[in-house]
Amino acid sequence: MNSLQLYRRFEDLPDNVRQFFNEVGRNCDFSLTLAWYRHLAETTRNAQQELRIYCLQRDALPSLLLPMYATHSGCWPWRTRRLSALANYYSALTGPLLQAGAGGIAKTIAAIVKERPHWDIIDLHPLAPESSSFIELEQALRHAGMAVQRYFCFGNWYLDVAGRSYQTYLASLPSKLRNTLARKTQQLQTTGRLHMDIITGGAELEAGIASYLAVYGASWKKPEPFPDFIPGLIRLCAQQNSLRLGVARIDGIPAAAQIWIVHNKVAAIYKLAYDTRFASLSVGSILTSTLMEHVIEVDRVREVDYLMGDDTYKQDWMSHRRERWGLRACNLHTARGIMAALGHQGRHFMRRLQKSVTLPRPQKQLVADMLRRHIVRLNRSKKMDADDMMKDLSNNHFFHKKTGPIPTGKLKIKTACVSRGRDEKNTCNNKNS
């Protein structure tokens, strides 16, 4: 028998749920582990975010976990209830935790959507679109009667090691990068100015954290909004034997520092920085090559992951690119959910309509006004996407009487979307929509 349990604190998790969390996390990305989620919540959660850990149980045994945040925004009667993944810009990946082939996503989502009071918006990101759970989440949300849209989060560059040695990998790098590494390394080693450390824990840990913070403070990067997150993450990774903290010193001064996390045979390049005073020495690139050699030859990883972003320099080091996407679902059974769907989808739909239909300006405005009212009526009665709305509207007799038939053959309405995160602006390039 299936039942969905809700826990509001990590401390409330029963031993068997905790054990399940840890077992599944060992075979997943490091940002899907119990330790990661707990640290993220403890150091970055604000007062408006309510922790909700959903656990689907079968015969009293956990089979799926979905850590989420609940938030409420606005004033009554337009107070919006939003359920979001336990993730923020520190997160490279999120999603449900379950054993391979275990299923249960549809049952979990159905139970969440039925909760009272209803959720107006459910937002899950960043997700791996190549995973089966992404498709299952999307289908489950649609089946529950929500208007679902995909949106692009970021590109993700990674290296498929494929059993290669470091020297074989090094030979595959662009010649300009190889020459720079060889020239700068020889120059610094000859003069004895360069010293490298790879810290995994122990007595050097606190000094390594201090060196990282010093380098970060002297770099071009903005200050961390949550200053306790990174030092705590370094200590957490050291406890789990997954830390590879690289520090490069020039004349004894910390010049570059990088945080790599090795988990499940994947080395994630989580944070990097260098002191701008030493930029001409390419010390950051030298440190990257040193850590790369370590994870390939010592840790024997199968993959090196550059995580978030399409920065040009990542293409020189990595071999493949994939994407991380989000799912935004608006509840068409609540007034605030309908308004969110209209504001999210209808705005772009009407922009596309006005660009596509050749009509005098007064008639275009009439089209937009009628379309707004028509979409509201359709959303109240049934689930429709942009193409369905266009087809239904083109068959509407009253609409034809006012404007004449719409040339639907020439209209290709794109479902576009943006993420409304506070610190990032995500755009949807209509891929997979």
CB 65 within 8 A of CB 86: no
Q: Using CA atoms, how far apart are residues 304 and 406, in angstroms rounded to an integer?
A: 52
Q: Which residues contact 30 (CB under 8 A, 6 or more apart)?
A: 36, 242, 261, 263, 264, 266, 268
pLDDT at 342: 80
Q: Which helix (H) or strand (E) holds 336?
A: helix 335-341
| Minimum mean pLDDT range among 33-37, 114-118, 142-146, 382-386 | 382-386
Per-residue pLDDT reduced to its tens digit, 196-233 = 999 999 999 999 999 999 999 999 999 999 999 999 99
Q: Using CA atoms, how far apart are residues 241 and 217, in angstroms rounded to an integer?
A: 26
Q: Which residues contact 182 (CB under 8 A, 6 or more apart)?
A: none
pLDDT at residue 294 tops 90: yes
Strand 266-274 and strand 303-305: pairing?
parallel
Check residues 402 and 243 and name the one with the higher pLDDT.
Answer: 243
Encoding tokens for residue 255? 């010049």
Give me the chain's average pLDDT, please.
Answer: 85
Residue 71 pairs in a beta bridge with: 82
pLDDT at residue 407 tops 60: no
Counting residues of the chain whose pLDDT is more than 90, the rounded percentage is 70
Q: Which residues contact 350 (CB under 8 A, 6 or more apart)?
A: 368, 371, 372
How big, in percent rounded to 5, are the helix, strand and coil portions of the chain? Answer: 45, 25, 30
Per-residue pLDDT reduced to its tens digit, 330-369 = 998 888 888 888 876 655 555 554 554 444 555 555 555 6
pLDDT at 367: 53
pLDDT at 365: 57
Work out whether the CA dihedral 367, 370, 373, 374 comes out positive or negative.
negative
All domains in the chain, ordered by first residue: 2-155+326-333 (3.40.630.30), 163-301 (3.40.630.30), 349-410 (no CATH)
Counting residues of the chain whose pLDDT is more than 70, the rounded percentage is 78
pLDDT at residue 371 tops 90: no
Q: Using CA atoms, how far apart are residues 57 and 61, in angstroms rounded to an integer?
A: 5
Q: Provide the residue type at 245 as one letter.
A: L
pTM of the model: 0.80
Mean local confidence (pLDDT), 268-286: 96
Q: Which residues contact 244 (CB under 8 A, 6 or more apart)?
A: 198, 199, 200, 259, 260, 261, 262, 267, 291, 294, 295, 299
pLDDT at 350: 52
**Gyration radius (Cα) of the chain, Å:** 25
List phi, psi (to 5°) of 319.
Answer: -115, -25
Q: Which residues contact 409 (CB under 8 A, 6 or more apart)?
A: none
Mean local confidence (pLDDT), 135-163: 95
pLDDT at 353: 47
pLDDT at 318: 97
Q: Using CA atoms, how far apart are residues 339 and 120, in angstroms rounded to an integer?
A: 9
pLDDT at 55: 97
| Minimum mean pLDDT range among 207-211, 216-220, 262-266, 371-375 | 371-375
pLDDT at residue 111 tops 50: yes
